[in-house]
Structure 1
Amino acid sequence: MPEYLSPGVYVEEVDAGPRPIAGVSTSTAGMVGVTQRGPTTGKPKLVTNFLEFQTTFGGFLPEPPPAIRDAWAENPTEGGRWWLFPLAVKGFFDNGGQRLYVKRVFSRGAQAASGTLGSGLVSPITQDAAAGATTLQLGHLVGFTGTDDITVFRGSDNVPIGPAKITAYDVTTGRVVLNTGLQAEVKTARGDYVQKGARDATPSLRFSASSPGSWGKGAQVRISPAVSASLPVLPDPNEGPLFVTALAADAAKDAVSIEVNEVTGLDPDPLPDDVWVLINERRFKVTVAQPANGRVTLTFPAGTAHAPWKTGLTVRRVRRAGAGAGRELRISGSSRLYAGAVTQLDTGDKLTPLHVVSIGSDDVVTFDANTPDLVFETARLQLIESTVDTRFADPGGGSVTETFRNLRLTGDGPGTVVGTLASRSQLVLATTLTGLSTDPAKFPTPGKGSWLPLADDGDDAYGGLTVGDFVGTDGGSGKRTGIVALEDIDEISICAVPGVWSGTVESALVTHCEQLKDRFAVLDPKDGLDIEGIQTFREPFDTKYAALYYPWLVVNDPSTNQFVEAPPSGHMAGIYARTDTERGVHKAPANAVIRGIRTPGGIAQDVAKRQQDLLNPKGINALRFFPNLGQRVWGARTLSSDSSWKYINVRRLFLFLEESIDEGTQWVVFEPNDEALWALVRQTVTNFLTTVWRSGALFGATADEAFFVRCDRSTMTDDDIANGRLICVIGVAPVFPAEFVIFRIQQKTREPELV
């Protein structure tokens, strides 16, 4: 009860009337099967189209080696053609399916492919250059000093083109000046690169495929240093003001002093004894004389050489960042840095690697080593991190490329190479090794080239695959495998293990549906069965939670561009979803055109009417071809011997009603169990069933004919109430399919007319 403790106006919210029940989805499917790659741990993954399936789980599977193929395909009781699973998934989406949860099955002996990096300093060439050229455009200058001996390599075969020496550089453009012309042309399309020194084979970083299987041998990874931020160096506060002036008179070559125009800030009193100026992009140390007649004399140290200059040439002061070498600098934007960050200081004539120790107040950054003697405000501090690129071309269809930028090389948390790949990459994982260095000149590098193929270990180990891998084990939420893992997803309402006819697997799938009571299974028979064979295959089953379809379908395998027989369960799950979306779960998923199969001849075996006369009473749903009508589903029966539940749509309608009422009345739990609550429950359920009846899902001309809802003293005893039980009795009249359409025609004779 609300409390009113002081005078005032109180606004209260109160519940009014029954709470609505929202119908649950009935078109979400869950499938278990062998895929080329994809996650092997965690809950089943949702895919909403076949391209998304290929991106996450890979493309079509090749037929396994004959010994493994025959061990499965020729086993009539515990076999299957599990390598057809991707074709079944494609059939699901071809037939109107929109949401599919996939749980990958894999052999316990499967291994992930891997590759190990050493270290070295390599930079790709990003612009073609002709033989004899003295400049090169590089992808980065991380780890270089600005005066380095390098070797130019041809990327196609890693053959050296020739040595050279860097004499000048521009970090902004990546352009370097060489002391000699190139011995041969270089091409970016060929993957040409430069290398400083030799590569070290000591393992520094290991990449492995994100999931086990031989697919990983087709994956490649590249890690390269990258500048995440370029931060300006701030001048020392004691350096005084900045000024920009111009020559007031011509200056001869190597003149000891020059005259410049007097401007604000150009006064020796607030300036230090030695001042540095920038003339024609070159720094000079000068002493400043007192202004006279609107001019100021700047004097160079003895022996300073320079070119002749003309009047009007700009003279700009550059201030020092500190008085001599030290471990501290003031950096603008120091918040981008962090303790342990790898940086590179660019003073214009030299590149110096530094590691950040701490970031203090007033943008003061402390490094692990001394900076150069002279650092000016024109210098830039570059934050060095890494970029990881991955790529995988799937021979079975589809390809994946990924790029992850601004990653720290060490550590395993968010933003690091290890942590980011573990949480975001679909292709690779990373592990740091003892040889990993934070020195930019010893960056992780493959033994040759720049891309590392994951060529070690990858193995599918299909020879160790068993029916137990499809059934799965229960390790708790998020740790279940196989069919058992479908329990983690409450939204699933249609289940299948396409291509597997093993009695153990299909019994496990049926048991899964019977225990959860909110989903329906679609089973596959063995391929190639005749009419007697399919009847024999059906005999062990008696369940109202599953349906069986015969025969298999003929589809095109895009990976080989050949027609193959495929299990019908994937296509049928899609038809279930399509029918639910277009008409509703009360409509039988039959008399529907099968999409995504060969036209004509998309059904592996012809089923005539006289043959279906034998199959239909036993709950075997036929897939048939009709002239001018196409290839259709021609059956809608479950595998139940109970005539009350012989129709698929009736069973699935009740699953829909039960799950919707279950989820929509959770608010009732722990409410006072009295007349007021009973009335609310009755009204809530009545409103929901009225909506269902109006959609055509229930039989009856009026709502009273279609259903009843009782929740009162007639449904509960005093003992029920005392034990906290609220019992609501619901009766529903489902709409049965018009399975047999009968037109009775009789001959009408003309009667004589009397005049």
Structure 2
Amino acid sequence: MPEYLSPGVFIEEIDAGPRPIAGVSTSTAGMVGVTRRGPEDGKPRLVTSYLEFQRTFGGLLPDPVATVRSRWTNSAGEGGQWWKFPLAVRGFFENGGQRLFVKRVFSLGATPATATLKSGLTSEITKDAAVGEQDIEVRHLLGFAGKDQQVSIRRGDTGEELEQADVDSYVIGPQSTVRLKAPLTKGVRAARGDHLAVVPQNPRPDSITFTASSRGSWGKQVQVRLRPVAAAQLPVLPDPGQGGIFITQLSEDVKTKDDPVLVPRADLGDPVPDPLWVLIDGRRYLATLGADVGTDVTLDLDPARPEKPGWTGGATVVQRIRQANAADTDRIRLGGAAQLYRNALLQFDDAATGALVIRTVKEAPVDDLVTLDSALTGRYFENDRVYLIEAETAVRFTDEGGEVTEETIGGLHWLAASDGDPDAVAAAVSARSQLVRATGVGDLFTSRPWFAGGERAWTPLASGGDDNYGGLKPGDFVGVDGGSGRRTGIVALEDIDEVAICAVPGVWSQTVQQALIGHCEDLKDRFAILDPRNGLTIDQIQDFRAPYSTKYAALYYPWVVLNHPVTGLPTDLPPSGHMAGIYARTDVERGVHKAPANAVVRGINLRDGLAADLTRRHQDLLNPKGINALRYFPGMGNRVWGARTLSSDSAWRYVNVRRLFIFLEESIEEGTQWVVFEPNAEALWALVKQTVENFLGTVWRSGALAGTTPDEAYFVACDRTTMTEDDLQNGRLICVIGVAPVFPAEFVIFRIQQKTRETQPV
């Protein structure tokens, strides 16, 4: 009871009546089967279209080798044609299915494809260059040593070396260029993927291994590329002790290298640094103050000026540039230093020597001061640009249909996985990629990213990648229970409560089908669709059906036929995938109480779409035994012509009756969880009774229950007549529910008699 201890206004919320029960979905299917690729662990994955299934699990499976195919196809008791699973999934969606949970089955002996990248550096050529040219445009020069470096020029399609060359000079910018010391003897082409490669003379022991995200030969169609990218350009900041800057113009023309360089002394400020660095006509000079000439001062420049500078007095600008560091220091100030981190790689361009220098950030910067792992030997000036080198991984997969899927994972740090940085190459790729996983060995690139892609622009995952279909067994389809999220095979469907229709398309193994039936009977909230063996006669299908007796499964005969999407040849398919789609379609369009029969089978050949042509006389033998026929009717197409379960109990003869009760039981169970631990007395009983009656009233009005009035359709009892005192003392609330299901009009009989004409009286 609420407490009222002081005067005031109190607002309380009270229950207004029974709580509504929402009907559960009955159109969600769960299937278990072999796929080309896809998640191996975790719960079954939801796909909502065949295209999504292809993206996640791959496309069609090729027929296995003859020995494997023969072993499975010729086994009457433990066989199957599991390689037709993707086509069955396609049939599910073509027949109206909307939600499908898929659990991949694979041989335990299957292996993923891998590739290991070791020391090496590449940069793609971005513009064609003909024989005799010396300049080559490349995507980047990150990690390169600069002048005098030897490079290997290689074809992108085969990896063949075209020639070796030495670098004479380079230009870094939005489009980097290298000038070779000798002209090209063979042309290069950007569209072919030609590239420069550098193989270090003393390669580091570091390596990184890329592994396909799941087992199987599909991984051999995956290629990876690991390359450096400029994540940022950081401006160099001057040393605070350098003083101010000045910008002035030459006082007189300088036409030869011996003409004096005069600038107004007043423009240089006070005091005037001596010596100082100046920038004239885009070139940097060390200037020493010379003799005064009136109001001007002479600047002695080092290095020597050009023979004919062509500098104009009053127009040519002279600008002081300040040093950022003293030579042989490991500290430098950089703009935007806050984005740096420990072990970040920085590339400096030493213009004086033509060398590209790599340094590692020793520790997280303080303000704009950056401490490096070793001293800089060159001089750097304000507004020089320093490149932050990070990694980019690209993954490219070409499926069996020629469609290319690409992933690009950027912002990666050249760090060892042991550093615990989630953006380190191996850790980030493993977390973000859908196609590959990565593991690194060694302290990656602490001096120079030699590791960026090995010697090839793209590296295929050429090692491993075996499906090992020869090791596949019926037990792989049954699966094992390793706990939530770690179950396999049919057992894994237990992780998904929404599943209401189950199938293992193409597998007629008794071990597998008994496991599927047991799965449905244990959970009591789902229904199984079984496939018979392909090519059975009328007598043989009756023998196949004989061992089964369950109200939680149905069997359909014969197999369906369609033209294979790739070969175009007629192909027999198990009917369970198509039937699961028809179940889902009927549930959505009409309701679970409608028998999934007299429905057109979509996605098969319009003529000769069934592996066997059944007549009424054939079905006279099959129907009483619970074998549902698929038949062709002229003018009506290929239709489902049966709606029976495999139960020997006539009360559960029909598929729709069994599934209707599954729907009712599951809906009531989920909708009355609030009752648990409530006070078990008359008020609660009345509330429960009203709650269930309201739900059943809605179901009756939808046409799912027989009877012209609610009293004829259902009853609910929850009172002293359903519970004893012993029940109450043991915490039991018992509610008795009775419903009258609508049975399908399986036999429509019109009785016609001949009527004799009678004379009417006048």
TM-score normalised according to structure 2 size: 0.93
Residue 520 (structure 1) aligned with residue 527 (structure 2):
yes
Separation in structure 1 between the aligned mates of residue 54 and residue 114 of structure 2, nearest angstrom = 22
- Report which stretch shifted further, 451-460 or 578-587: 451-460
What residue in structure 1 maps to residue 562 of structure 2? Answer: 555
Structure 1 residue corresponding to 2:322, chosen from 319, 322, 337: 319
What residue in structure 2 maps to residue 430 of structure 1? Answer: 438
Pairwise CA distance, 1:54: 1.5
Separation in structure 2 between the aligned mates of residue 25 and residue 528 of structure 1, nearest angstrom = 35
Pairwise CA distance, 1:604: 0.5
1:638-717 to 2 correspondences below 5 Å: 638-717=645-724
Separation in structure 1 between the aligned mates of residue 668 and residue 152 of structure 2, nearest angstrom = 74
Q: Secondary structure at the match of 1:20?
A: coil
1:106-145 to 2 correspondences below 5 Å: 106-145=106-145
Separation in structure 1 between the aligned mates of residue 336 and residue 671 of structure 2, nearest angstrom = 54
**CA contact under 8 A between 1:327 and 1:366: conserved in structure 2?**
yes
What residue in structure 2 maps to residue 155 of structure 1? Answer: 156
**CA contact under 8 A between 2:226 and 2:453: conserved in structure 1?**
yes
Structure 2 residue corresponding to 1:452, chosen from 430, 454, 459: 459
Separation in structure 2 between the aligned mates of residue 136 and residue 434 of structure 1, nearest angstrom = 34
What residue in structure 2 maps to residue 594 of structure 1? Answer: 601
Residue 368 (structure 1) aligned with residue 373 (structure 2):
yes
**CA contact under 8 A between 1:395 and 1:559: conserved in structure 2?**
no
How many residue pairs were aligned?
Answer: 750
Structure 2 residue corresponding to 1:402, chosen from 398, 402, 407: 407
Q: Secondary structure at the match of 2:370?
A: strand
**Could you report, residue by residue, the CA deviation over 1:503-535 in whole angstroms, capped at 9, with x for unpaired residues?**
110000000000011111000000000111111
Pairwise CA distance, 1:610: 0.9
**Could you report, residue by residue, the CA deviation over 1:282-322 in whole angstroms, capped at 9, with x for unpaired residues?**
222336799999x8747234664242312323444433223
Structure 1 residue corresponding to 2:345, chosen from 342, 354, 358: 342
Pairwise CA distance, 1:718: 2.3
Pairwise CA distance, 1:671: 2.2
Cα pair distance change 1:156/1:704, threshold 3 Å: same
Pairwise CA distance, 1:47: 1.3
What residue in structure 2 maps to residue 86 of structure 1? Answer: 86
Residue 539 (structure 1) aligned with residue 546 (structure 2):
yes
**CA contact under 8 A between 2:248 and 2:263: conserved in structure 1?**
no
Separation in structure 1 between the aligned mates of residue 656 and residue 262 of structure 2, nearest angstrom = 98
**CA contact under 8 A between 1:397 and 1:559: conserved in structure 2?**
no
What residue in structure 1 maps to residue 583 of structure 2? Answer: 576
**CA contact under 8 A between 1:162 and 1:182: conserved in structure 2?**
no
Provide the alpha-carbon RMSD of the alignment.
2.6
What residue in structure 2 maps to residue 217 of structure 1? Answer: 220
Q: Secondary structure at the match of 2:68?
A: helix
- Report which stretch shifted further, 215-224 or 119-128: 215-224
Cα pair distance change 1:283/1:495, threshold 3 Å: same
Pairwise CA distance, 1:223: 1.3
Pairwise CA distance, 1:9: 5.4
Separation in structure 1 between the aligned mates of residue 557 and residue 197 of structure 2, nearest angstrom = 64
Cα pair distance change 1:377/1:78, threshold 3 Å: same
Separation in structure 2 between the aligned mates of residue 297 and residue 658 of structure 1, nearest angstrom = 101
Consecutive unaligned residues of structure 1, counting only runs of 5 or more, are none
- Report which stretch shifted further, 97-106 or 238-247: 238-247
Cα pair distance change 1:411/1:716, threshold 3 Å: farther
Structure 1 residue corresponding to 2:425, chosen from 417, 421, 424: 417
**Could you report, residue by residue, the CA deviation over 1:144-195 in whole angstroms, capped at 9, with x for unpaired residues?**
1331332322334413234131412123322233344322321011221112
**CA contact under 8 A between 2:292 and 2:298: conserved in structure 1?**
no
Cα pair distance change 1:623/1:138, threshold 3 Å: same
**CA contact under 8 A between 1:78 and 1:467: conserved in structure 2?**
yes
**Could you report, residue by residue, the CA deviation over 1:681-704 in whole angstroms, capped at 9, with x for unpaired residues?**
223222222222222222222333
Pairwise CA distance, 1:13: 4.2
Separation in structure 1 between the aligned mates of residue 6 and residue 662 of structure 2, nearest angstrom = 53
What code does the residue aligned with 2:80 have?
A: G
What residue in structure 1 maps to residue 489 of structure 2? Answer: 482
Q: Secondary structure at the match of 1:389?
A: strand
What code does the residue aligned with 2:323 have?
A: R
- Report which stretch shifted further, 535-544 or 218-227: 218-227
Separation in structure 2 between the aligned mates of residue 534 and residue 181 of structure 1, nearest angstrom = 78
**CA contact under 8 A between 1:256 and 1:302: conserved in structure 2?**
no
- Report which stretch shifted further, 473-482 or 46-55: 46-55
What residue in structure 2 maps to residue 185 of structure 1? Answer: 187
What code does the residue aligned with 2:163 have?
A: I
Separation in structure 2 between the aligned mates of residue 5 and residue 292 of structure 1, nearest angstrom = 100
Residue 356 (structure 1) aligned with residue 356 (structure 2):
no
**Could you report, residue by residue, the CA deviation over 1:384-403 in whole angstroms, capped at 9, with x for unpaired residues?**
22222222222267543222
Pairwise CA distance, 1:743: 1.9
What code does the residue aligned with 1:423 have?
A: A
- Report which stretch shifted further, 52-61 or 743-752: 743-752
Separation in structure 2 between the aligned mates of residue 748 and residue 672 of structure 1, nearest angstrom = 68
Cα pair distance change 1:236/1:75, threshold 3 Å: same
What residue in structure 2 maps to residue 259 of structure 1? Answer: 263
What code does the residue aligned with 2:262 have?
A: I
Residue 305 (structure 1) aligned with residue 319 (structure 2):
no
Pairwise CA distance, 1:248: 4.9
What residue in structure 1 maps to residue 99 of structure 2? Answer: 99
**Could you report, residue by residue, the CA deviation over 1:29-52 in whole angstroms, capped at 9, with x for unpaired residues?**
111111112222211111111122
Separation in structure 2 between the aligned mates of residue 214 and residue 442 of structure 1, nearest angstrom = 30
Separation in structure 2 between the aligned mates of residue 607 and residue 194 of structure 1, nearest angstrom = 68
Q: Secondary structure at the match of 2:511?
A: helix
Cα pair distance change 1:701/1:379, threshold 3 Å: farther
Separation in structure 2 between the aligned mates of residue 664 and residue 720 of structure 1, nearest angstrom = 22
Separation in structure 2 between the aligned mates of residue 122 and residue 302 of structure 1, nearest angstrom = 37
Consecutive unaligned residues of structure 2, counting only runs of 5 or more, are none
What residue in structure 2 maps to residue 635 of structure 1? Answer: 642
Percentage of pairs with the same residue: 57
Cα pair distance change 1:441/1:507, threshold 3 Å: closer
Separation in structure 1 between the aligned mates of residue 735 and residue 245 of structure 2, nearest angstrom = 86
**Could you report, residue by residue, the CA deviation over 1:194-243 in whole angstroms, capped at 9, with x for unpaired residues?**
12345759561222222222222222222112222222223323333444
What residue in structure 1 maps to residue 22 of structure 2? Answer: 22
Separation in structure 1 between the aligned mates of residue 172 and residue 470 of structure 2, nearest angstrom = 57
- Report which stretch shifted further, 2-11 or 419-428: 2-11
**CA contact under 8 A between 1:288 and 1:296: conserved in structure 2?**
no
TM-score normalised according to structure 1 size: 0.93
Separation in structure 2 between the aligned mates of residue 287 and residue 655 of structure 1, nearest angstrom = 96
Cα pair distance change 1:236/1:19, threshold 3 Å: farther
**CA contact under 8 A between 1:585 and 1:649: conserved in structure 2?**
yes
Pairwise CA distance, 1:719: 2.0
- Report which stretch shifted further, 418-427 or 87-96: 418-427
1:47-66 to 2 correspondences below 5 Å: 47-66=47-66
What code does the residue aligned with 1:153 have?
A: R
Structure 1 residue corresponding to 2:386, chosen from 381, 388, 398: 381
**CA contact under 8 A between 1:61 and 1:396: conserved in structure 2?**
no
Q: Secondary structure at the match of 1:747?
A: coil
Q: Secondary structure at the match of 1:359?
A: coil
Cα pair distance change 1:428/1:353, threshold 3 Å: same
What residue in structure 2 maps to residue 204 of structure 1? Answer: 207
Pairwise CA distance, 1:434: 4.2
Q: Secondary structure at the match of 2:375?
A: coil
Pairwise CA distance, 1:353: 0.9
